[in-house]
Every structure is written in C-alpha cells, then in structure tokens.
Structure 1
Amino acid sequence: MTTNTSRPVRIGIQIAPQHSDYTTIRDTLRQLEELGVDIAFNWDHFYPLSGDPAGLHFEGWSMLAAWAEQTSTIEFGPLVTCNSYRNPDLLADMARTVDHISAKTPGAEGRLVFGIGSGWFERDYDEYGYEFGTAGQRLDALGEALPRIEARWGKLNPAPTRKIPVLIGGGGEKKTLKLVAKHATIWHSFSDVPTLRHKLEVLRAHASDVGRDVSEIEISNDVKLTGAFGSADAAVLDEKTEAGVTLFTLGITGPSIDLGPVKDLLAWRDEKNS
C-alpha cells in the first residue's frame, strides 16, 4: 500500500549530541537552517551511542530549548525522547514551553516536533537510576503516558501554540503501531522497503480500528548512505517514496561533521518536489 502521496518530501537531519563541543553543534544547526533542511533532530540519551563511550555528550531537552531560541524557520525535536526519564505531565510542560520559545512572536506557531519512544539504551537507565524493566513494560508505560501528555497540553496556560506534532518511533506491530495509530502525527521507522510495506498494512488496520485513515500520519524513515550519495542511494529513496515515505532523516555526528551528504539529500528532495 501507499499513503497520501500529496505530501511534499521533507528532509530531517539528526545532529547527534556526542563527540562535539556545543559550539560545533550550534553552528551546525545554523548551517542546516540556512541550507533549507526541514527538521533538525537530536536524541534523548546521556551517553554516546557510537564511538568512544566516554566521549563528549550533552542532554537533549536543554539543547532543544537553546535550539528554539537560536532558530527561526526550521522545525526541530528529539528523535526520540525517552518516556521513562521524566514524569509525563512534566514532559508535556517542557514540550509546551519549548514550543512557545520557538514561536518568536505573539500569535505565531511554534516549531517543535515531539518525538517520543519507550526507551531502549540500558546504560542510560543503569547510570541514572531508572528501572529498565522489559521492553513490554516500557511500551505499556508509553501507552499510559501518551494520554496524560495530551491531557496536560489541554490544561496548560498558556496552551501550546499549535497542535504539537507527535512523532512515535518503532515498528512493533502489537503495541507500538497501535500507539502510532491512536496518537501519532508522524511514524518513524528504520524499515527496508518490503518491511515498510508490510508494517504500513498493519498500521492501516490499527488506524481503521480507531477511526483514522493512515494518510493522516506522515511516514518517516532513516537514511543510510552507501558512501558518497549516488544513483543507488537515490533509487532506494525513490522506492521508499513510492511506498509512502515523505520524511527522510540522516544522522550526522562529531567529531568531524560533513554536510556534503546533507546538500545531496536536499538536491534530491528539491527534484522530487519540483
């Protein structure tokens, strides 16, 4: 199946908050906005996920507040925040506040994309004193948290500047995709094309069960390049676009951040949208 193909193709770039000083991260974000990237992401972990496990690393939500103030056009958010690390009502309030910081002028809409998942990086839990539990328990906790987050957004004064887009990451068919169907504006996965097509069928069924059409949900996927961007990479992206993906996200990380692939992806995007 395919989803709504009327959406424009968008490019997200995840700046890993690791192995770089904050000045480099800040300057990279500025360059991404100037280049015309649609969404900038970071992540919500406490230690590097690759490279030196004792390398430089920064906390995600503090960084997002700075990004909200620093930028003026680009959307941004965590890919993804871990539900386990904060009380859901507090997390909703943090997101609402960052949303307002990013709005810049009275009456303007904010630019936060609220990415959330159930958590998986055991070192974060162990080192910071959270109960890791099982994957099923963490997913159940996410299912309990999402309605609380939505309810808190409805109670806060001032309210969020807009209906904050909710991105849910993950591909579990029994629990995660049910949560996507009920709560998400965007679904993000790391699926290859055959897996993506299958999971979209599952998502369509779950969406129908809660009275939604799957076309209401933007389909997001990661980008893995083979090296320098070439025809093989473009062919994979084209195939995923035909399957329904309209948001593609590439991860970049220090210590040496190369924006060449970002420029290639943007050129491909512009050609697709022309």
Structure 2
Amino acid sequence: MPIHPIRIALQLQPQQADYAAIRRTVAEAEDLGVDVIFNWDHFFPLYGDPAGQHFECWTMLGAWAEQTSRVEIGALVTCNSYRNPELLADMARTVDHMSDGRLILGIGSGWFAKDYEEYGYDFGTAGGRLDQLRQDLPRIEARWAKLNPPPTRKIPVLIGGGGEKKTLRMVAEHADIWHSFSDLDTLRRKSEILAGHCADAGRDPTEIERSIGTPHGEPAEVGPPLIEAGATLFTVGVGGPDFDLARLRRWLAWRESL
C-alpha cells in the first residue's frame, strides 16, 4: 500500500476564460471531491490564442482561499523569478492564514520566455534560473521562521521539474511534494535518482509525495502502474473557456473505487 493517500488534483489553467467561469469551476471541483486545486503562474496563455484572456496567479489564490473551505490550493507552479523570495514567503504565509492552513507552495525556476520579456524580467539561462531557485529556497524558509504571525503549519513545498542533477537535488533538500509529467519508465528512473539525492541529504525518500500529471488513457488502466512506481497525487489539467471536467470526474471515480 502507498505511504501517502491517493489524491486527485485539478490544475485550473487561468486562460481563455472570464473570471466568472474560473470561480464556477473552482466551486464545482470542490463539490466533486477533488483534493487540491492548482492554478499556474504565467501572465499569458500557454495554449490557444496567445493574446487571449488570462489572470494572475497569487491574486487568484487569495480569492480561492476565501471561496473554498476544504481543498488545498496552490500554484503548479510559482515562477521563482517573478518575486523576491522574502516577499513570496510572506504572500504564501498570508494565503496560508486566509485558507486556514490549506496552501501548498508549488515552485519552479521558470521557463516561459514571453512572461520574462513582456514583464521585464531577466530570462538568463535555464541553469542560472535553477541556481537562483536553489539560493532562494532557504531564504523563503528563513523568512517563514521570522514572520509574525508564523504560518499556521509547515507549508508544504512542491517543486516541479525533473532535472536529475539540480532539480531533484533541490527536491531532496527542500520539498514535501515532487511534481513531474513523467511517463511510467521515466518516473521509475527519476525516483531512483531522487532516492540517491535523499541519501546524500539524510532524508527518507518516502517522505516526499510523488505528484504526476495524468496521462492519456483510462484511469483504471494507467493509474495502478503509476501507483506501483510511487505516484500518489494525480493532477488533471483543464483550460478555458469551458473548463470541461469530464476527465476529472473519471479520475475521481477511479480514486473512489480503490
């Protein structure tokens, strides 16, 4: 049996839709029994009309904290480059309190060049952005220890990505949840690499929850092998304008059948 419970998440991609549709979808997903609702941290759509409607991540999370009562909420994932780490820590602490302790801090190093160019951030290199994330994670943790009031709980940190030398080492050192879009074989291989980094960091790798984007196929067919490989948090992504939750319903029904 998995050490962590099997959970289903929705990544509600805040693109190509009015905010009223986003608000309705959040309410519907919570009513359906989803465990986590994520958005993402971009400034422009990733799919469809590149100039289509889009809304900002953390303002939205504050609204979700007030709108919801049960689900955990967070970004999949926050771009580390867009905010000073001390400020991000304070924002996360605030949403943690607003939600009565239901925030997950999902974070990554950033990759979408248009966000950087349009908003005036230095894009740099992939390696440089990863190095900056590694420097900033301890600053976030240190700021949480200084804030008054402190967070309501140890805010879970989710790190997204699969880089074997840098990202998985940061997961071993800082994360409570590791998210990737790996296929089955890749998940198995990278989990072994993560276990090696955990050994170096003095951590039990089973402490880290494995989160994965749901693959194509029926949940009853593709889900069990992923559980065997260690995945326990399964995230269904949906975008606007309609936010079709049919796939989410199938994954929730499968979870209930276990």
Shorter-chain-normalised TM-score: which range? Answer: over 0.9
Structure 1 residue aligned with 2:108: 117
Following superposition, the deviation at residue 260 of structure 1 comes to: 1.6
1:219 & 1:41 partners in 2: Cα distance? 16
2:95 & 2:106 partners in 1: Cα distance? 13
Structure 2 residue aligned with 1:33: 30
2:139 & 2:43 partners in 1: Cα distance? 25
Structure 2 residue aligned with 1:107: none
User: Superposed, which structure 2 residues align to 1:91-130 within 5 Å?
Assistant: 91-103=88-100, 110-130=101-121
Q: Secondary structure at the match of 1:31?
A: helix
1:27 & 1:161 partners in 2: Cα distance? 28
2:57 & 2:3 partners in 1: Cα distance? 33
RMSD: 0.9
Structure 1 residue aligned with 2:200: 209
2:181 & 2:249 partners in 1: Cα distance? 22
Structure 1 residue aligned with 2:222: 236
String of CA shifts for 1:133-170, please: whole Å, max 9, x gaps: 00000000000000000000000000000000000000
Out of 223, 226, 234, the residue aligned to residue 248 of structure 1 is 234
**Percentage of matched positions with identical amino acids:** 64
Following superposition, the deviation at residue 6 of structure 1 comes to: 2.6
Q: Secondary structure at the match of 1:47?
A: coil
Out of 201, 209, 232, the residue aligned to residue 218 of structure 1 is 209
Answering whether residue 5 of structure 2 is matched by residue 14 of structure 1, we say no
User: Superposed, which structure 2 residues align to 1:115-264 within 5 Å?
Assistant: 115-226=106-217, 230=218, 233-264=219-250
1:160 & 1:90 partners in 2: Cα distance? 14
Q: Secondary structure at the match of 2:99?
A: helix
Q: How many residues align?
A: 258
| Letter of the 2:98 counterpart | I
Following superposition, the deviation at residue 196 of structure 1 comes to: 0.7
Following superposition, the deviation at residue 234 of structure 1 comes to: 2.5
String of CA shifts for 1:186-245, please: whole Å, max 9, x gaps: 00001111111110000001001111010000001001334xxx3xx4222111011010
- Runs of 5+ in structure 1 lacking a partner? 104-109
2:90 & 2:4 partners in 1: Cα distance? 30
Structure 2 residue aligned with 1:73: 70
Task: State whether residues 85 and 139 of structure 2, in contact with CA within 8 Å, keep that contact through their aligned partners in structure 1.
Answer: yes
1:202 & 1:153 partners in 2: Cα distance? 29
Q: Secondary structure at the match of 1:14?
A: strand
TM-score for the superposition, normalised by structure 1: 0.93
- Runs of 5+ in structure 2 lacking a partner? none
Answering whether residue 241 of structure 2 is matched by residue 270 of structure 1, we say no
